[in-house]
Amino acid sequence: MSADEIERLIRGALDTGIWSEQQVEDLLGHAAPLTVNVGVSGRHVHLSQEDLEALFGAGYELTPIKELSQPGQFAAKETVTLVGPKGVIERVRVLGPVRPSTQVEVLRGDTFKLGVPACVRMSGKLEGTPGITLAGPHGTVALPQGVIVAARHIHMTCDEAAKRGLHDGQVVSIAFGGERGGRLDNVVVRANNTSALDCHIDTEEANAFGIKNGSVVEIIK
């Protein structure tokens, strides 16, 4: 077995909680890098129940077609059309379950086509964001706010954060190798006890660096 293979096994023991970070560091002679898998996100919409019914009909419920990385979340069969001051984007996927407030997550390039400002925010931080019109098979909804370019972030539980010496709200960087390898800064740690470990970046960021779903990146404090 090669030295690299042995090191991968030791690092795996850290990820599964068999050994502590200090034990791994003692075995390797250096600190084990903090790594996380990447989930790549495209444009999508989270709907409130009120807006879901306005777009699809009274009493309507979303139809799950695929589970997502975060517990209880899913991609739905339903899609909507985004109608901005300058353009339209059709067949934008709705994600479930419903939320208290509708949120539209787009790519930075989409904002030019739609004619709305590019407002980089964490999910749920909607105050002061631009609005847009949503069109569905049953009707339309004019949102006064809610359009964001999602800030890159890492989901993890509080225990996983503590094990890695991280905390909720901490801003870190991620680094990755490969032909177009590089580093992304301003990655926010989102630690709570309902999360599954996953780093979320959007498709523009992933395409620029040749990253795919499941790629492994290093967390830099």
- Share the mean pLDDT of the chain: 90
Q: Looking at residue 177, what is its pLDDT?
A: 86
Q: Which two tokens stand for residue 199?
A: 């780093």
For the cut 60, the answer to whether the pLDDT of residue 169 exceeds it is: yes
Q: Which two tokens stand for residue 171?
A: 């801003």
140 in Cβ contact with 168 (< 8 Å): no
129 in Cβ contact with 152 (< 8 Å): no
Q: How far is CA 55 from CA 50, 136, 141, in A?
A: 9, 5, 7
Residue with tokens 């177009």: 180
Percent of all residues in the chain with a pLDDT value above 70, rounded to a whole number: 86
Using DSSP's 3-state secondary structure scheme, residue 97 falls into coil
Provide the residue ranges of all domains of the chain, joining segments of one domain with +: 1-32, 41-150
Confidence of residue 2 (pLDDT cuts 50, 70, 90): very low
Tens digits of residue pLDDT in 57-70: 999 999 999 999 99
117 in Cβ contact with 134 (< 8 Å): no
For the cut 60, the answer to whether the pLDDT of residue 3 exceeds it is: no
Confidence of residue 12 (pLDDT cuts 50, 70, 90): low
Q: Looking at residue 13, what is its pLDDT?
A: 57
CA distance 24 to 34: 12
